Chains A and B, each alone.
Chain A
Amino acid sequence: MRKNKGILVFARNNSQIDYIKQAVFLARRAKKHLGLPTTIVTDCVDFLKTEQTDWEEIFDQVIELVQNEENKIDTNTFVLPKEQLSQKKFYDGSLTPKNLYWKNQSRALAYEISPYYETLVLDTDIIISNQNWLNCFDYNSDLLLYRESFELADIDRGEDLKRVSDTSIDFYWATVIFFRKTQENKTFFNLVQHIQENWQHYNNIFQINSPYFRNDYAFSIAIHIMNGYQSGNFAKSPPGTLYFASDKCILWEITEDSVLVLLEKPLYTGEFTPLRLKNANFHFMNKFSLNRCLDEI
């Protein structure tokens, strides 16, 4: 394989959240700040082509996810693993919860799907504002995932986001994944697929007790296993800081080099204080608020 590099983004809309819109924004920022092409993986190709008439300029490749083998039309079509779609509470600030389907069970296919030798897999709800992630491609390590992150709101989450549960293993974010196509990483991604297929078992064994499948947990478990069922350095951390804000916060403004976020005060539901974040790569979980800002750009 040619040693090319690029970004892979999964965008699967549900009834209220337009992930395609976020992916388009991400691809544009990736081109601007990182100079990298983006491949989108989606199950709503028709919607993409209707909504974004310039999709060929935005995306390097469009890869379609289909439900059945008979729908596979070309090499850029992949069959989804059998999914048990679950509903999750998505917040638009603390006071507005919405129960929606969470279609998150395709990320384990990243290795198989990616057209690149070196791939940076990103969530759609990331705002790229600097060049830090370019350093991933120079790293000596073949697999990079964040273990630590920086929450904009000063909230003491205890062991949450450090361990997958109080009595269990180290937590890794599947929000940003850098990998090279090596034999070890192929084994790793196959293991993630296995964990996903047997989620109930692993959910119990690692005492996660999550009501739904979550990629962060599946990747954390796979790293733990690849480390020989202990903490280790099979996956190292990507360069730079992963800043994030939960879906209880509101995104107010996106500019060329900064974002203005309204952070909910801990213990005071519905009360906010503003914060300006400049030149940082930012994971913003309130999808509704993000899409409202994107509409204004």
Chain B
Amino acid sequence: MDERLKKALDLSNYMVTFNNQKRVIKEKYRESSIFYYNGSQFTLTKDLITFVSFLVDKDNVNNVILTDDNEIPTEIEKLDEFLIDILDAYFNAVNAYYAEYQKLLKNRSTSKLAEYEEE
């Protein structure tokens, strides 16, 4: 095979693998950006965090009602504690996403992307 074509095909395989891994870690990030509270589910968006932070700043901390991802109203007993929890969960998710992404960028071969060492 022409060396130029072989190199292009190797790169093409690398790119397909890279893009698939990228899709998966993005979905993992989306999955871990969900916070469960008393049977309700909240996606940790910047909107949610800003809104909760705003309410806490305005001293609305006790027995606050928020609607969850399914538009079900949920009572949050201590909103200041809820804010700490969602910030914690948000940064865990985004930090893990960042770490995985950096790892992907450093892995310059198909086998390293898939973390597979041939015996």
**What is the number of residues of chain A that contact chain B, defined by CB distance less than 8 Å?**
29
The reply to whether B116 and A274 contact each other, CB–CB distance below 8 Å, is: yes
A280 / chain B contacts, CB cutoff of 8 Å: 24, 28, 31
A96 within 8 A of B: no
A183 within 8 A of B: no
For B68, the closest partner residue in chain A by CB is A140
Q: What size tier do the contact residues of chain B reach?
A: 20 to 34
For B72, the closest partner residue in chain A by CB is A140
Minimal beta-carbon separation of A31 from chain B (angstroms)? 22
- A260 is contacted by which of B27, B31, B36, B116 (Cβ under 8 Å)? B116
Q: A273-B16, A274-B110 are in contact. Are A241 and B115 (CB under 8 A)?
A: no
Instruction: Mark out the residues of chain B between 21 and 57 whose CB falls within 8 Å of any chain A CB in the assembled complex.
Output: 21, 23-24, 27-28, 30-31, 34, 36, 38-41
- Number of inter-chain CB pairs below 8 Å: 66
Minimal beta-carbon separation of A250 from chain B (angstroms)? 13
Between A and B, 26 residue pairs with Cβ closer than 8 Å are A135-B36, A138-B36, A139-B41, A140-B72, A150-B27, A154-B19, A233-B70, A236-B70, A239-B36, A240-B31, A241-B27, A241-B28, A260-B115, A263-B20, A265-B16, A273-B16, A273-B17, A274-B17, A274-B114, A275-B17, A275-B21, A276-B21, A276-B113, A276-B114, A278-B28, A279-B28
Given contacts A150-B27, A243-B27, A276-B21, 13 further A-B contacts (CB under 8 A): A135-B41, A138-B38, A140-B40, A233-B70, A240-B31, A243-B24, A260-B115, A260-B116, A265-B16, A273-B17, A273-B110, A274-B17, A274-B110
7 smallest beta-carbon distances between A and B, as pairs: A274-B114, A140-B39, A241-B31, A276-B114, A273-B17, A273-B16, A135-B36
